[in-house]
Amino acid sequence: KRPNPIQSVLESTGAGAQGLDQLTEFFCYWIPSIPNFANIDAALVIRDRKQGSVAVWCLQYTVSEEHSFNSRTFLIKFLRPLLKNFRLCQVTVKILFVVPGDVYSNFKLPQEVADSGYEGTAQFADCSSVEAVQGLFERLEFINKPVTFFDDPPTAQRARQ
């Protein structure tokens, strides 16, 4: 079972760059092949065909009140290769720090996230089960407008057919 909007899950293999080369599909929850990969623990690339836009959600799971973020490493080791894999020139990058409830109120977003121009936020998430993780994805803005995840609802005319 996968939370919406995830259509597939890929636990990559090989070295860091080799693992990233395996991320080639939109709506795929990607897990790096190495545990200390360029500032993130997972990524999800979402395309909105109607808007003609792409958002890259980067998830960092932590139990700490602070977490470092190296924008240069992120750019060189993750973002540039990702853009090349997907043949994209421009994306919106959103860095999401997922923290336990007792850490959330004291969590400090790394200043370098904002300084780099990336959107950064922290969310509390109960990650004890897939059903609980579903709640995290339901609270994120990509579940709502403007991103459309699956085919748009049928028009009234199509619905009657």
Hey, what are 140's tokens?
A: 């994120």
Output the pLDDT for position 139. Answer: 59
- Output the pTM of the full model: 0.76
Beta bridge partners, 14, equal none
Output the pLDDT for position 142. Answer: 47
What averages of pLDDT result for each successive group of 10 residues across the chain (161 residues)? 72 89 92 86 88 88 88 91 91 87 86 86 67 61 35 34 33
Hey, what are 92's tokens?
A: 């919106």
**Helix spans in 32-155 (H):** 71-74, 80-86, 101-104, 111-115, 130-139
CB–CB of 118/93 below 8 Å?
yes
Q: Are strands 42-48 and 28-31 parallel, antiparallel or unpaired?
A: antiparallel
